[in-house]
């Protein structure tokens, strides 16, 4: 395809957009801009990933990688300083996004509102982060732009003026959504405020996108709108047809909101298309759909990210432009495929470490797809944040816990620590579910076991663990977990019922809406504890008995579950699985059909019908059902495997091999797929060498599965640890100029470094040389520091209190490196930063924690070293940016040449210290954690 590298691409994200809403609007002529785009391009479902949480999914769209390969695992993350929880940032992302790859190839990019994109990255072009459109305060109050929202900063003021505040909207904006505004008592009903906020944020993103596309050069623009998702969560319950549990008056008032939200996005689409020009390739995607029919949940689960229960597993995909097929359907697209497809459109190679594939079936002439091992390995400026700024928040929190355990940093207040613990819990839970979705059940089980041990009342952890253990063919362990869950649930229910009765009597006639937030939470918690869900219990027990091979008993429980709730597609799919195991293929096919009557897009039931038809030797029909399943969810190794089985039976051997190759590409630990390939090569294609290679791969897969069963949660973090590089083994140097002599009475002499890097030794040297330490004696000498720690309790609280610094003038004070960033700019000080081999630091910390009997970081040594390395880099950057004079001193220099080290320190501090006494204070025998080569 000629001229492909000169393409312009407009990628539009509509969070939660769903064909079930769009198709009727297209038929009614209410979305003309989208209809015109569909008619001149391709369209189809876009299968999502599990869990269906937007920050994880939009990062997968931008990277082509699953969550455990890109590092974003939820809506929030611990602040790396250990002070609380913050909204998720792109600093946790561990791989290059699409715009970084394009920047690296000198392609101008605009990225507006992508989630998460804060703080804005210094890309080759413009980035406006997902905090840009957020409303703050009333219209007559200051509405400052948050720091880090816009790159480059030169356009910040212009973009600030383009924001739309809800109070700027008038009746013309609101009335298409709610025709009868006058009938709403806005003193009691605040839903109009919610509506106005969503509209204004959507218009703000529109304004920024149009202005940037018009005024800034670009070849790629990615713009993300969250409005459809927000309209859905707030108002989908009122969307036609009215559900029995929805108040009729509310339905009449708000039944137009969702439809009008889609129409608004179509109007914005028209403006974007006009600005982009006809020769631009346009792609519209959504990360998931949104239940709008009888599958809408009446109640939202009372758990973090509970609203995700409203999401449907299929989003939308549309692509139109030069060289793209017209008016055709695309099957099997996944959100993992978007990044590889954009790279292919621009003539760039696809990373072999990406989990997605280019959608070449959308091209009139399929392009040649090139590949490289990984874009992450390609050097050069890519518009990413400084590596010292990027950090895994969970591992950073573990590193902070290491410092708390060592006694160098105070423990966060209980309420903040609780928030941090819960945040880390949810991140690991989401990570476990991402592993499950990729059929990596051993990794998921290890995380879930740890979560359940720490949070035994969180039944969701146990339920997912039971599923993992069943998938790993460990039924005895699954039964033990499930029985413990049921017993605990029954005990908690018995305890909660009288408390709930007492609480209801206390509140009397007070309605749920009249209660305080605390009262509502208390009621909800007790209701959850007291709830007896016969469907869930029967279903879980049926699945467990099925995994144990007790098929008749399993079927009894599952049929009881159907009596309790006959509207669950997954239930009939499970009944079908029992019949399959009993080789009752007609009954299995019938129940998978019932599931598909409830939800025609239920991919597991299409897969179940495929297996039923294989049992009935209906191989042609089995191929059709396998393709239906793959069309809904391309990234399903089992679907490709069963397609291969059917094709193999039909004698279509080359096609079968291709399907098996996809299966093992998606899941390298798939012995059955390798064995079938070996059989086809040996018996059908007469290629003994390839057959032998496939048998070898099958053996390797078995070994990897067995090994995975022995992994611990600390081994399962989604990205590699430190390289083991040594820091500061020898020598020293001044990083910032020291201008003339100073009076030490007017400054603070700060000794810093990681705990166990030699800071106490350096404090001893300074004290021996005549510089008094700022210490309170609370922490006395012990086996780890026989000569004392020279610390002050106030230092631990530096993150929240700097008033004591005035007391430290004229003294030397020990402040561990992670706390340096809390020093106020302009502080009169000099910093001596001691570096030590990180292997020795970590080993020394481990020994010290063991002696203290405290709990340190649950990280491997390599990962702990990587986090400490980043902490050190962050501290050094802070010192340099604030022009604080620093002497970097090597620990080994102090040990091997204490006189030389004393000379450097004395000169740095302006002289006057007793260098001989300083050198004599060094006891080389205290270096007990040596690394030998």
Query: Which tens digit of pLDDT belongs to each residue from 213-269?
Result: 999 999 999 999 999 999 999 999 999 999 999 999 999 999 999 999 999 999 999
The reported pLDDT for the residue numbered 318 is 98
The reported pLDDT for the residue numbered 875 is 83
Res 125 pLDDT > 80: yes
How confident is the model over 811-837, as a mean pLDDT? 89
Cβ neighbours of 806 (radius 10 Å): 8
Are 736 and 885 a contacting pair, CB within 8 Å?
yes
Are 90 and 117 a contacting pair, CB within 8 Å?
yes
At 866-907, the pLDDT tens digits run 878 878 877 887 787 677 899 989 898 899 999 999 999 998
The reported pLDDT for the residue numbered 88 is 87
How confident is the model over 838-859, as a mean pLDDT? 76
The reported pLDDT for the residue numbered 737 is 39
Tokens of 24: 């009727």
Of 355, 269, 367, nearest in space to 7 by CA: 367
**Residue 857 pLDDT class (50, 70, 90 cuts):** low
What letter does residue 684 receive in the DSSP assignment? I
At 286-341, the pLDDT tens digits run 999 999 998 898 888 777 788 898 999 999 999 999 999 999 999 889 999 999 99
Res 712 pLDDT > 90: no
- Percent pLDDT > 70 in the chain is 86
Tokens of 933: 């080569």
The reported pLDDT for the residue numbered 300 is 83
Do the bridges between strand 9-14 and strand 281-285 make them parallel or antiparallel, or are there none, so unpaired?
Answer: parallel
In sign, the C-alpha dihedral spanning 613, 614, 617, 620 is positive
Res 781 pLDDT > 90: no
The reported pLDDT for the residue numbered 252 is 94
CA–CA dist 475, 487 (Å, integer): 18
The reported pLDDT for the residue numbered 739 is 43
Q: Which residue is it, tokens 């570096």?
A: 835
Q: Is the peptide bond before 479 cis (omega within 30 degrees of 0)?
A: no
Which of 100-109, 169-178, 917-926 is least confident?
917-926
Which of 542-551, 702-711, 718-727, 903-912 is least confident?
718-727
The reported pLDDT for the residue numbered 724 is 30
CA–CA dist 771, 812 (Å, integer): 7
At 646-666, the pLDDT tens digits run 999 999 999 999 999 999 988
The reported pLDDT for the residue numbered 854 is 66
At 53-94, the pLDDT tens digits run 999 999 999 999 999 999 999 988 888 776 778 888 999 999
At 422-457, the pLDDT tens digits run 888 999 999 999 999 998 999 999 999 999 999 998
Q: Which residue is it, tokens 């025998």?
A: 925
User: Three-state SS for 289?
Assistant: strand
How confident is the model over 150-173, as a mean pLDDT? 94
User: Which is more confident, 736 or 600?
Assistant: 600
The reported pLDDT for the residue numbered 512 is 58
Cβ neighbours of 871 (radius 10 Å): 25
The reported pLDDT for the residue numbered 860 is 79
Tokens of 593: 């059909």
The reported pLDDT for the residue numbered 341 is 98
The reported pLDDT for the residue numbered 34 is 98
Rounded to 5 degrees, what angle do the CA atoms 667, 91, 197 make?
100
CA–CA dist 8, 12 (Å, integer): 13
The reported pLDDT for the residue numbered 740 is 46
How confident is the model over 908-920, as a mean pLDDT? 92
At 360-405, the pLDDT tens digits run 999 999 998 999 999 999 999 999 988 766 656 665 555 556 555 5
CA–CA dist 869, 385 (Å, integer): 16
Mean pLDDT over each residue of the chain, to the nearest integer: 86
How confident is the model over 509-513, as a mean pLDDT? 63
How confident is the model over 693-709, as a mean pLDDT? 81
Give the N- to C-terminal CA distance of the chain in Å, as an integer: 56
The reported pLDDT for the residue numbered 518 is 67
The three state secondary structure string of 478-546 is HHHHHHHHHHHHHHHHHHHHHHHHHHHHHHCCCCHHHCCHHHHHHHHHHHHHHCCCHHHHHHHHHHHHH
CA–CA dist 389, 89 (Å, integer): 11
* Interaxial angle between packed helices 585-598 and 603-615, expressed in degrees from 0 to 180 and rounded to the nearest 10: 160
What letter does residue 882 receive in the DSSP assignment? T
Range picked from 53-57, 131-135, 170-174 for highest mean pLDDT = 53-57
User: Which is more confident, 275 or 491?
Assistant: 275
């Amino acid at each position: 395809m000629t001229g492909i590298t000169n393409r312009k691409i407009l990628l539009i994200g509509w969070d939660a957009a769903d064909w079930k809403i769009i198709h009727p609007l297209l038929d009614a002529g209410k979305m003309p801009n989208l209809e015109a785009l569909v008619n001149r391009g391709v369209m189809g479902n876009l299968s999502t990933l599990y869990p269906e949480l937007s920050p994880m999914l939009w990062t997968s769209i931008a990277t082509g990688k699953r969550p455990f390969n890109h590092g974003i695992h939820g809506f929030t993350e611990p602040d790396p300083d250990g002070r609380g929880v913050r909204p998720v940032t792109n600093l946790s992302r561990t791989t290059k996004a699409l715009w970084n790859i394009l920047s690296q190839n000198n392609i101008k990019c605009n990225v507006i509102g992508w989630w998460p994109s804060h703080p804005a990255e210094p890309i080759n072009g413009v980035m406006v982060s997902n905090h840009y459109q957020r409303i703050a305060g009333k219209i007559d109050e200051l509405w400052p732009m948050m720091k880090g929202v816009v790159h480059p900063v030169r356009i910040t003021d212009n973009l600030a003026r383009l924001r739309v505040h809800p109070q700027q909207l008038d009746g013309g904006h609101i009335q298409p959504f709610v025709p009868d505004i006058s009938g709403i008592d806005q003193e009691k009903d605040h839903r109009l405020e919610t509506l106005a906020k969503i509209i204004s944020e959507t218009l703000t993103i529109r304004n920024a996108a149009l202005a940037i596309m018009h005024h800034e050069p670009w070849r790629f623009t990615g713009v993300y709108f969250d409005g459809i998702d927000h309209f859905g969560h707030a108002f989908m319950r009122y969307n036609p047809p009215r559900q029995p549990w929805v108040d009729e008056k509310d339905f009449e008032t708000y039944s137009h909101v969702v439809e009008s939200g889609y129409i608004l996005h179509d109007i914005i689409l028209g403006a974007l298309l006009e600005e982009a020009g006809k020769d631009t390739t346009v792609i519209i995607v959504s990360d998931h759909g949104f239940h709008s029919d009888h599958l809408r949940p009446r109640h939202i689960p009372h758990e973090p990210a509970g609203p995700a229960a409203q999401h449907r597993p299929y989003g939308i995909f549309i692509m139109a432009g030069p060289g793209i097929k017209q008016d055709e359907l695309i099957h099997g697209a996944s959100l993992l495929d978007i990044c590889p497809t954009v790279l292919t459109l621009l003539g760039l190679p696809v990373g072999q470490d990406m989990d997605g594939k280019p959608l070449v079936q959308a091209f009139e002439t399929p392009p040649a797809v090139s590949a490289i091992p990984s874009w992450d390995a390609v050097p050069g400026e890519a518009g990413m944040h400084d590596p010292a700024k990027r950090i895994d928040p969970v591992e950073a929190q573990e590193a902070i816990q290491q410092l708390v355990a060592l006694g160098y940093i105070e423990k966060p207040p209980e309420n903040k620590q609780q928030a941090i613990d819960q945040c880390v819990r949810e991140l690991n839970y989401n990570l476990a579910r991402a592993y499950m979705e990729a059929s990596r059940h051993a990794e998921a089980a290890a995380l879930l076991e740890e979560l359940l041990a720490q949070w035994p009342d969180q039944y969701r952890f146990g339920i997912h663990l039971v599923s993992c253990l069943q998938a790993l063919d460990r039924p005895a362990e699954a039964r033990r977990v499930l029985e413990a869950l049921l017993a605990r649930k029954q005990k908690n229910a018995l305890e909660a019922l009288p408390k709930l009765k007492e609480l209801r009597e206390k509140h009397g006639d007070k309605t749920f809406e009249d209660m305080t937030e605390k009262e509502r939470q208390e009621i909800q918690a007790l209701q959850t504890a007291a709830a007896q869900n016969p469907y869930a219990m029967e279903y879980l027990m049926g699945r467990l008995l099925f995994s144990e091979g007790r098929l008749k008993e399993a079927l009894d429980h599952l049929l009881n579950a159907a009596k309790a709730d006959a509207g669950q597609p997954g239930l009939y799919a499970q009944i079908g699985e029992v019949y399959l195991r009993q080789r009752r293929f007609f009954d299995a096919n019938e129940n998978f059909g019932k599931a598909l009557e409830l939800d025609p897009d239920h991919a597991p039931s299409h897969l179940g019908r495929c297996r039923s038809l294989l049992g009935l030797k209906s191989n042609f029909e089995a191929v059709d059902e396998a393709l239906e399943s793959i069309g809904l969810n391309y990234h399903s190794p089992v679907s490709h495997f069963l397609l291969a089985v059917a094709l193999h039976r039909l004698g279509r051997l080359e096609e079968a091999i291709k399907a098996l190759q996809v299966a093992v590409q998606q899941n390298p630990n798939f012995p059955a797929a390798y064995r079938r390939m070996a059989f086809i090569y040996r018996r059908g294609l007469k290629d003994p060498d390839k057959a032998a290679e496939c048998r070898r791969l099958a053996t390797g897969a078995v070994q990897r599965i067995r090994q995975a069963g022995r992994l611990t949660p600390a081994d399962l973090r989604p990205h590699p640890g430190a390289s083991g590089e040594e820091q500061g083994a020898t020598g020293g140097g001044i990083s910032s100029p020291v201008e003339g002599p100073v009076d030490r009475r007017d400054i603070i002499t700060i000794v810093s470094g990681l705990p166990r890097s030699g800071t106490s030794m350096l404090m001893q040297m300074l004290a021996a040389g005549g510089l008094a330490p700022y210490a309170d004696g609370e922490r006395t000498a012990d086996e780890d520091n026989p000569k004392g720690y020279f610390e002050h309790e106030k230092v631990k609280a530096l993150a929240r209190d700097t008033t004591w610094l005035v007391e430290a003038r004229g003294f030397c004070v020990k402040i561990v490196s992670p706390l340096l960033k809390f020093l106020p700019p302009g502080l009169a000080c000099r910093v001596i930063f001691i570096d030590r081999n990180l292997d020795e630091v970590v080993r020394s910390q481990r020994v010290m924690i063991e002696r203290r009997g405290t709990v340190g970081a649950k990280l491997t040594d390599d990962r702990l070293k990587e986090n400490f390395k980043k902490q050190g880099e962050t501290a050094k950057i802070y010192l340099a940016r604030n022009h604080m004079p620093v002497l970097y001193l090597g620990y080994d220099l102090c040990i091997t040449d204490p006189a030389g080290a004393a000379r450097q320190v004395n000169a740095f501090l302006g002289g006057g210290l007793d260098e001989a006494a300083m050198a004599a204070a060094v006891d080389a025998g205290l270096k007990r954690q040596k690394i030998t080569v």
